[in-house]
Amino acid sequence: MRGRFVSSLASMLFLAAPDIGSAQSARELVGTWELVSSVNTARDGTKSDVFGPNPKGILMFDNDGRFAQVFTRPELPKFASGDRLQGTPDENRAIVQGSIAMFGTYSISDKVLMLYVQSGTWPGWIGTDQKRPLTSYTGDEMSWTQQEEAGATTLTTLRRLD
């Protein structure tokens, strides 16, 4: 009898335990996260740091299902003109290729983070659902993959700040 009770108790605890390795609800993501890395692997296997080896970035999730994200390279150039509306083609290219910002709403289901982009710096994502399959989640750190149109894959890792 005691053995069956222990076995039943162990089964209940196992079924009630959270799935280690992935967030199960949007509420688990609420807070502020900093960008640790974003590594792109091209179709040929070549790897590159999307925002450089020491990226800057923040991603915030609130209780009402909203998010805001800004990721940048740390060495974005200052414009020689001092006016963001008067950048040279090279200055503008460096900013566009070295940063991404967006905001909208989010949800999570079946270990996939969905970001509905209301607006942002990349017009191709505005009004779309961006799927981010979680590859790892510990509560203090998470990683996701992102399939790129050119057949590449980007692995992004963030660490919780609060």
Find where tokens 């590449």 sit. 152
Asked if the structure places residue 42 within a domain, the reply is: yes
Asked if the structure places residue 74 within a domain, the reply is: yes
Read off the amino acid at residue 142. Answer: M
Sign of CA dihedral 51, 53, 55, 60: positive
Q: Is 92 helix (H, G, I), strand (E, B) or coil?
A: helix
Q: 3-state DSSP: the chain helix, strand, coil percent, rounded to 5? A: 20, 45, 35
Give the number of other CB atoms < 10 A from CB of residue 73.
Answer: 20
| pLDDT confidence of residue 77 | 92
Domain count, the chain: 1
Asked if the structure places residue 56 within a domain, the reply is: yes
Instruction: Compute CA distances 159 → 37, 58, 142, whole Å.
Output: 10, 10, 7
Asked if the structure places residue 93 within a domain, the reply is: yes
| pLDDT confidence of residue 33 | 98
| Pair 155, 38: CB distance under 8 Å | yes
Asked if the structure places residue 11 within a domain, the reply is: no
Going by C-alpha positions, the residue among 87, 135, 141 that lies closest to residue 112 is: 135
For each of the chain's 162 residues, which pLDDT tens digit applies?
444 433 333 333 333 333 445 677 888 999 999 999 999 999 999 999 999 999 999 999 999 999 999 999 999 999 999 999 999 999 999 999 999 999 999 999 999 999 999 999 999 999 999 999 999 999 999 999 998 878 899 999 999 998
pTM here is 0.82
Asked if the structure places residue 87 within a domain, the reply is: yes
Domain assignment of residue 38, given as a range? 21-160
**Which CATH number fits the domain that encloses residue 33?**
2.40.128.280
